[in-house]
Amino acid sequence: MLGPGLVLMALVIIIPLGLALYMSLLDLDQYTLRSWLQAPFIGLQNYVEAVTASPLLRSIWISVSYAVVVSLVTLPVGVAAALATQNRFKGRALVRSVFLIPYILPAFVVGTVWRTMMQQGGVIDSALGSAGVHTGLWLNGPQSYWTLIIVQAWSSWPFFYLLVLAGLQSVDSEVHEAAALDGAGWWIKLRYVIFPYLRGPIALALIISLLHNINSFTLPFVMFGVPAPQDVQVLSVLTYVTSFQSFRFGLSAAMAVASLIIVAIPLFVYLRAVRLDTGEEGKRA
């Protein structure tokens, strides 16, 4: 009965991963691509070049810092929005629907609209200029990093909102009633009654948000194009440029493997925490 699932896993995950690992050990470029099985085997030279002679480490730092900042910024916004729409009020369905608009829009549309608004002399520059604020270039230079963070945070905070709202629905109504009978204020109730129920959803949302932002490609690619400014050359864009503009397929495969390792770290930490929380380690011991 496990056979079909194992075959699907092999076709979708194991075989492509094995090919990527093998390609990262080859001197594979536009000249050897057609007969890539006969491409020169160079071992770990692609990994050494990626670390020493390419902007890989800088791109890793940009991707990780950008993912962490966006996740930390969007977390309180999502929690506040979920708390604000938890109880019934007139027009709640409409408010919940409006909150989801940034998240359901395709990243290509979000990147195109924000790129147009942030052009020099665009809507945002005009609005800030009328208030006496002159920010300079949004899409080039040091401010491009914060531009990417602002746009990504705007489009991804409803994800935290959805997961936290789902966690709030799991809080038993009797718990709310008991807290009210004990005279608990809103902060005491929030801290000691509601937040313990939200630890799981918030931890899951943080991990998924980190993984999603580290792997983000469409938004920076559409907003800044290629070659992108150095401050927004995230790992996924660097891998794309190395592969399809420089045609260094072996080197780009090594960068993709590095990306996989980076993504696996927070995932491993989360799975380890879940196992400890559920007591599986204690049962094994």
Ordered per-residue pLDDT tens for the chain, 285 residues: 788 888 888 888 888 888 889 999 998 888 888 887 788 899 899 999 999 988 999 999 999 999 999 999 999 999 999 888 887 888 888 998 899 999 999 999 999 999 988 887 778 878 777 777 777 778 887 788 999 999 999 999 999 999 988 888 877 767 666 766 666 667 777 777 778 778 888 888 888 898 889 888 999 999 998 888 888 999 999 999 999 888 999 999 999 998 888 888 877 877 776 665 555 554 544
Domain holding 157: CATH number?
1.10.3720.10
Whether 205 is covered by a domain: the verdict is: yes
pTM, 2 dp: 0.84
Contact 64, 261 (CB under 8 A): no
Whether 209 is covered by a domain: the verdict is: yes
The number of beta carbons lying within 10 Å of the beta carbon of residue 143 is 17
Whether 162 is covered by a domain: the verdict is: yes
- When divided into structural domains, the chain yields a total of 1
Whether 269 is covered by a domain: the verdict is: no
Q: Distance (Å, rounded) from C-alpha 116 to C-alpha 219?
A: 13
Q: Distance (Å, rounded) from C-alpha 128 to C-alpha 126?
A: 6
For tokens 């991804």, name the residue.
156
